[in-house]
Amino acid sequence: MDSERELAFIAVHRDSYPRVYRYVRRRVESPELAEELAADVFRVVWQKWHDQPHADIAWLLTVARNLIGNAYRSRDRFVALQAKLRASAELRSGAESEDLLVHDAMAALRDSERDILQMAYWDELSVAEIAGVLQCSEAAAKVRLHRARAAFRKHMPVTPGASKQNSVTQKMGA
């Protein structure tokens, strides 16, 4: 049987989730991030239920607003880190290097695509190991890796030195 606390939480979630999601969705760039942040709002509600057992919409939206701010700050730190890494690679290898082409293509990928390519090539994990990390079947891991490779190819520029690019995409299994 569910406790009183659980039943009350379920009622708050059922009644408030659509409004919280809409609030978050209007303020972030992707539906996936909005879903994640809206779920995090209710994680916080559950954790603080003893402090604030009757979560009204104003409190829920305040929590959402704080989580959105955290997400933006995290994104800004990531963008700044990518810029530093690119500048470092440019200093090390020159402005037209293969390293920069790969860096830029990787930076253009979605997090999930970049992550699976890094597991496959930087961490040298097998498809079975990747499936274990992602907690999915090997078939699903193969499909995700295939899609990530295709996205990587799409972001690699076609340049006059196409032989360089071909060697990089061949190394990436594309």
**CATH of region 1-79:** 1.10.1740
State pTM to two decimals: 0.59
pLDDT tens-digit profile of 88-118?
A: 777 776 666 677 778 788 888 888 899 999 9
**pLDDT value of residue 84:** 84
Helix (H) or strand (E) holding 113: helix 111-117
**pLDDT value of residue 1:** 46
Domain boundaries, the chain: 1-79, 96-157
Q: Which residue has 């989580």 as its token pair?
A: 67
- pLDDT value at 71 more than 80: yes
Q: Do domains 1-79 and 96-157 have the same CATH topology?
A: no
User: In the CATH hierarchy, which fold is given to the domain comprising 96-157?
Assistant: Arc Repressor Mutant, subunit A (1.10.10)
Distances (CA, A) of 4 to 48, 57, 60: 15, 20, 20
What are the structure tokens assigned to 28, written together?
């972030």
pLDDT tens-digit profile of 13-27?
A: 999 999 999 999 999
- Give the whole-angstrom CA distance, residue 41 versus residue 56: 12
Q: 17-31, 36-50, 72-86, 118-132: which range is least confident on average?
A: 72-86
Q: How many CA atoms lie within 13 Å of 161's alpha carbon, on the beta-carbon side?
A: 9
Helix (H) or strand (E) holding 90: helix 57-93
- Give the whole-angstrom CA distance, residue 45 versus residue 145: 36
Helices (H) and strands (E) counted in the chain, each on its own, are: 8, 0
